[in-house]
Structure 1
Amino acid sequence: MNEPIFLAPVFQERIWGGRKLQDLFGYDIPNELTGECWAVSAHPNGQSIVKNGAYQGKTLGQLWSSHQELFHSDSPVFPLLTKILDASDNLSVQVHPDDEYAGKNENGELGKTECWYIVDAEPGAEIIYGHEAQSKEQLVQMMNDAKWDDLLTKIKVKRGDFFYVPSGTIHALGKGIVVLETQQSSDTTYRVYDYDRKDKDGNGRELHLQKAIDVSTVPQAYEPVSYETFNQKGITITQLVSNEFFTVQKWNIDGTADFTANPKYTICSVIDGSGQLIAGDKVYSLSKGEHFILPVDFGPYQMSGTLELIISRE
């Protein structure tokens, strides 16, 4: 049986970052403006490193290209990217392209559809999720007139909320929010508005207005979200979203749960609690902030303890 693949994350400095990735997860962050933990990533801008087993020291990208027996995927690149974001200040208002637009305009990069599980939120914290414009002409006019309060739709959030953010959705995390983000493996973002902030050199940050207008969904379309929940011994599984880009679930383990081998590889992120992964005669410790991949046909196995995990698959 293959081993689980535990991964060391990559941290990214951001103007809106802070210290919560250390405070909440115990990560050894590089500085006081650490905004992103790229936890499971094979993207060239930040690759996770294998921490254990026969592939220790390899990047996830190397594993994907040279050991497809672990994944059995038709995708030419590792298709998903799991992040944890610390929005200690407001993120820029932004929008992402779909696969077709990104492929033509961003050197073959994937588009970026994503989703957010709210891990932590200060009282009153809110996100921007969509807009009120009814036509592209109205969108452009409201942007040109800087009518941001009228244009942008704001929603208050709390721990445990979930949002699906397809490409074309104007969005932003607000101050005081920590999310686990599952997304396509893309680093393409079109910045719409940035509160007139300056970068560390005193310059206004670049906006990408024409590309943002090109790709924004107008009028805003909201896909209904309906959660399916499955209960079995030791575990409650909540399916948060399942579509052509990814399937994302929340697992709540209380006690011991038994699993059979899955024909798909599985990305696992422990967002709270502690416990163990038991496979045959091997026992792996699981703690908050750990990220790992279960290869194709890994199992049977057990998870025990009190654990909250976010699970994703192609």
Structure 2
Amino acid sequence: MNSTKQHINNPLNTTGFKSYPLHFQPIFKERIWGGNKLQSIGKKLPGNNIGESWEISMIDTDVNIITDGVYQGKSLAELIDLYPNEILGTKVYQKYGKQFPLLFKFLDAKTDLSIQLHPNDELAKKRHNSFGKTEMWYIMQADENARIILGFKNDSSSEEYLEHLENKSLPSVLQEYYVKKGDVFFIETGTIHAIGGGVLLAEIQQTSDITYRVYDWDRVDEQGKARELHVDLALEAIHYGKRNPKIEYVKQEDQSVELVDCPFFTTKIISLTTVYKVQKSNDCFLVYICTEGSAKLSIDQESFDIKQGETILVPAQLSQFELKGEATLLEVFINKI
């Protein structure tokens, strides 16, 4: 993210926090199902089979590094440790402490991901001392006939599920959705799901890396080994009822349209054609994901670029700015604090 850099001359250890949009070095993850489609949104990939680009993360050792401005070279964790209220916001810090509560990714599924699910907060806390993993997907690109799996076609049960799992017929009772650019899905904890091959998407989720894999299409790696399954752990975590995860919405030029509003995050979509003005409190940060086009975030006389495939963190302390350009942006914050 390029910027006019008049303000970027303060050392880190000054008493005041310097408030500007933060851009991070992505953390790339090689996956058995990954490809090279992330290049199409501007990523310089370190190798083949790159399935994930972690854009903003504070999970264990996967902590993103700031790439520009006065805090260039510092990690998100270091900055939050020094300036928790200024970065996270007063209410977010009060609730979550010095933990960034969300994880932002781009995913490229060259082939099908495993069929999996994530536990809720209560179960994840008890078993793993972790948050649960509520998430949402925004489809950025999909090949012809690309699909995702989300939930059961009809209300099911643990007995029916186990029978189909044993017979390797589990996909036959799961709901498939053929997808296209702009489709949005909200995946509550316990929802059995998989991203199909040919799908590129943006993912917004709770800060958690707890996944229960239940079926992996009988795949093996180069050494002939199958990946670990978590069938027993999943039994108690699965939601066996039918769900309706697809979000219907209508874009409105230069306005924000709500996609998801849940206890863990709120996501809106902005179809930017000219100018979108923001005035907010210091209760919470904002994150912008640019899924298409490019824009500038302007603060007084300063401006900062955000291009397709980039994700920026607007610190809570930065309360007034404008977005200008032609772009599709996802705006994410925590509303229910």
Name the SS of the counterpart of 1:140 in structure 2. Answer: helix
The match for 2:9 is none
Residue aligned with 1:3, SS: coil
CA distance in 2, matches of 1:274, 1:223: 29
Match of 1:248 in 2: 267
1:18 aligns with 2:40: no
> 3-state SS of the aligned residue for 2:309?
coil
What corresponds to 1:176 in structure 2? 198
Identify the residue that residue 287 of structure 1 maps to in structure 2. Answer: 307
Deviation at 1:66, TM superposition (A): 2.5
How many angstroms does 1:219 deviate by? 2.2
The equivalent of 1:121 in structure 2 is 142
Q: Which runs of 5+ in 2 are unaligned?
A: 1-17
Would you say how many aligned residue pairs link Structure 1 and Structure 2? 309
Query: 1:220 offset after TM fit, Å?
Result: 3.0
1:218 aligns to 2:237 (yes or no) = no
Q: Which residue of 2 aligns with 1:31?
A: 47
Partner of 2:70: 54
Q: Distance in 1 between matches of 2:77 and 2:241?
A: 38
Partner SS for 1:49: coil
In 1, distance between residues paired with 2:171 and 2:58?
A: 37
How many angstroms apart in 1 are the aligned matches of 2:280 and 2:44? 33
Distance 2:175 2:158 in 1: 16
Q: Is the 8 Å Cα contact of residues 38 and 81 (structure 1) preserved in structure 2? A: yes
Q: Distance in 1 between matches of 2:116 and 2:161?
A: 14
Q: What amino acid sits opposite 2:328 in the alignment?
A: E
* CA distance in 2 between partners of 1:135 and 1:286 (Å): 46
Match of 1:111 in 2: 132
Shifted more, 29-38 versus 213-222: the winner is 213-222
Does the C-alpha gap of structure 1 residues 75 and 26 become closer, same or farther in structure 2, counting only changes over 3 Å? same
Q: Distance in 1 between matches of 2:315 and 2:131?
A: 23
**Coordinate RMSD, CA, aligned:** 1.7
Q: Distance in 2 between matches of 1:117 and 1:250?
A: 10
Q: Residue 133 of structure 1: CA displacement?
A: 5.3
Partners of 1:152 and 1:203 lie apart in 2 by 26
For each residue in 1:105-156, what CA deviation from the matched residue of structure 2 results, as whole angstroms up to 9, or x when unmatched?
A: 11x1111110000000011111011124522111112212222242222111
Q: TM-score, normalised by structure 1?
A: 0.93
Distance 1:170 1:224 in 2: 14
How much has 1:207 moved relative to structure 2?
0.6
2:321 to 268, 282, 301: 301
Residues 65 and 297 of structure 1: CA distance in aligned 2, closer, same or farther (over 3 Å): closer
Identify the range of structure 1 (292-301 vs 29-38) with the bigger mean alpha-carbon deviation. Answer: 292-301
1:275 is paired with a residue whose SS is: strand
State the distance in 2 between where 1:28 and 1:141 align.
44
How far is 1:226 from its partner? 5.3
Alpha-carbon displacement from aligned partner over 1:21-43 (angstroms, at most 9, x marks no partner) = 11x21211111100000011111
Q: Distance in 2 between matches of 1:206 and 1:224?
A: 29
Identical counterparts, % of pairs: 34
Worse-superposed segment, 271-280 or 165-174: 271-280
Q: Decide whether the 8 Å contact of 1:228 with 1:240 is kept in 2.
A: no
Mapped partners of 1:30, 1:97: distance in 2:
32
d(CA) in 2 for partners of 1:4, 1:238 = 22
Q: Distance in 2 between matches of 1:78 and 1:245?
A: 12
Contact 2:118-2:191 within 8 A present in 1 as well: yes
Residue in 1 that maps onto 2:225: 203
Shift of the 67–228 alpha-carbon distance from structure 1 to 2, 3 Å rule, reads farther
Amino acid across the alignment from 2:279? T
Mark the CA change 1:64 to 1:201 in structure 2 (over 3 Å): closer, same or farther: farther
Whether 1:278 aligns to 2:298 is yes
- Matched residue, 2:257: 238
Counterpart-to-counterpart distance in 2, 1:78 and 1:167: 19
Q: Which amino acid aligns with 2:318?
A: F
Q: List alignment gaps of at least 5 residues for structure 1.
A: none
Question: Alignment partner for residue 69 of structure 1, among 70, 74, 85?
Answer: 85
2: CA distance, partners of 1:149 / 1:168:
16
AA aligned to 2:47 is: N
